Amino acid sequence: MSTGTMTLIHNDRLFPPDPVMRGIARRLHAEVRDLPIISPHGHTQAAWFADNKPFPDPAKLFVQPDHYIFRMLYSQGISLEDLEIGEEVLKDPRRVWRIFAENYYLFRGTPTRMWLDYAFHELFGLEERLSGATADLYFDVISERLQTPEFRPRALYERFHIEVLATTDSPLDPLAAHQAIRDSGWKARIIPTFRPDAVVDPDFAGFEKNVAKLGQIAGEDTGSWKGYIRALEKTRARFKALGCTATDHGHPTALTADLPQGEVAQLFDAVVSGRAEKGQQELFRAQMLTEMARMSVEDGLVMQIHPGAFRNHNRKVYERYGRDVGADIPVATDYVHALYPLLNRFGNEKNFTLILFTLDETTYTRELAPLAGHYPCLRLGPPWWFHDSPEGMLRFREQVTETAGFYNTVGFNDDTRAFLSIPARHDVARRIDCVWLARLVAEHRLDEDEAVEVAHDLAYNLVRKAYRL
């Protein structure tokens, strides 16, 4: 009978059962496991580090910000009300935690389970598996530790050996927390990322008001196309002054367009006045990706596109709780035709880097790897969101490497809101890359000294280069 001991945190976790490959993977991992973490794209909050206050409780820290957790619970009929999702202050955090603990078995076999077990064991020293029976033990131990100086956000940042941490920020954000971090004299490198969806996507809630506010902040008349573009350029410069090196675009599709400026101005008028039809809204988003590429050529910000999600698929949940509550679903995505207008104009520019992500794995060998294996500006982002799992990472390497190689990819980014999961996610990525490299060595397709070099590049060097860090 199981004792409930934490068995998943094993030194050989994720390594192959074959003893030859396992030995190679162990040696490769020993070379990279302690390298600094670079997190170039994620959704942690700069205010945590500016204020450096203790995290309030385990439920607020682990459950509330992590849609990987509460979407699974919701899928099993647990209400978001019971989990107090969206509440600024939890009324009964212990009850929320107990619900989570009693249903922890739902995460068996998922990457979420690996990330959580890693945090519970490595950070808090917990050895019994989380369950209804151990819920209060976990809650009490974690709560007590969170009140100590060693578990303040800045101390954890340093403990995690993070070298760079990028947040994701609206162009309407004054970035006061980022400025406060700089003013404090703390030497950590926490930088913003420019995410303009709120002012370039006509489907975004409050779009027209957002565009007007953008103009107020930038001191430009965003009622006109030229004033709108100047406001975006000024905002990018404001972000760049605080260390920003990248933009991020979460459009529904990868569609781009390159219209004559007169047509664009007319399209903008229709969109900003609320008169645009669905087709015009999509065309505007497409044009704005090309406009953002043009700005990146000029100001050097790396451009990321995260397309292919049907956002807020559950309308009832969206109306009650808003965005980002686990109801986004992957859809098939075209890249070859969709990106052609943008690449036709900027694909050969030397001062332009465009990192592509996908939720559609069928595009790896057919579209993404061939595109990145040709255009100098293109790099492939790592498996993302629904695919940042051991299996997803291996599928990525298997399907992409044969055409694009390793050096048209950008290493790993964790893309998380859950701060304490960052070391666990990078640990999984480094282990899986070592597994893939061990296979190449065992099959005599790569010498081990080359594999060591590639492992360093995948864990550290490629991300620094791609994101200009």
CA separation, residue 281 to residues 81, 101, 129 (Å): 34, 44, 49
Q: Alpha carbon 248 to chain centroid distance?
A: 10
3-state secondary structure of 418: coil
Query: What are the pLDDT digits (tens) for 251-299?
Result: 999 999 999 999 999 999 999 999 999 999 999 999 999 999 999 999 9
Q: Which whole number is the average pLDDT over 91-106?
A: 97
pLDDT mean across residues, the chain = 95
Q: How far is CA 190 from the centre of its chain?
A: 15
Radius of gyration of the chain (CA): 23
Phi then psi dihedrals of residue 211, to 5 deg: -65, -40
pLDDT above 50 for 2: no
pLDDT digits (tens, 9 = 90+) for 362-386: 999 999 999 999 999 999 999 999 9
22: amino acid identity, one letter: R
The continuous run of DSSP H or E covering 348 comes out as: none
**pLDDT(346) > 90:** yes
- The span from the CA of 469 to the CA of 413, in Å, is 14
pLDDT at 260: 96
Residue 459 corresponds to which amino acid? A
Q: Apex CA 123: angle with CA 60 and CA 115, to 5°?
A: 70
- Which one has a higher pLDDT value, 232 or 5? 232
DSSP alpha helix (H) spans, 273-379: 278-299, 315-321, 340-346, 363, 369-372
**SS3 labels along 106-152:** HHCCCHHHHHHHHHHHHHHCCCECCCCCCHHHHHHHHHHHHCCHHHC
Mean pLDDT of the 322-347 span:
92
Q: So what's the pLDDT on residue 327?
A: 79
Among 316-330, 343-357, 411-425, 433-447, which stretch is predicted with the lowest mean pLDDT? 316-330
Does position 9 have pLDDT exceeding 90, yes or no? no
pLDDT at 319: 79
* Confidence tier at 8 by pLDDT (50, 70, 90): low
| Domains, the chain, ordered by start | 19-53+152-466 (3.20.20.140), 54-151 (1.10.2020.10)
Match 């340093």 to its residue by tokens.
158
pLDDT, tens digit, for every residue of 214-236? 999 999 999 999 999 999 999 99
Neighbours of 375 (CB within 10 A): 18
Supply the pTM of this predicted model.
0.95
Tens-place pLDDT, residues 100-132? 999 999 999 999 999 999 999 999 999 999 999
- Residue 86's pLDDT band, with cuts at 50, 70 and 90, is confident
Q: How far apart are CA 83 and CA 64, in angstroms?
A: 8
Q: How confident is the model at residue 321 (pLDDT cuts 50, 70, 90)?
A: confident
Indicate if the pLDDT at residue 389 is higher than 90: yes
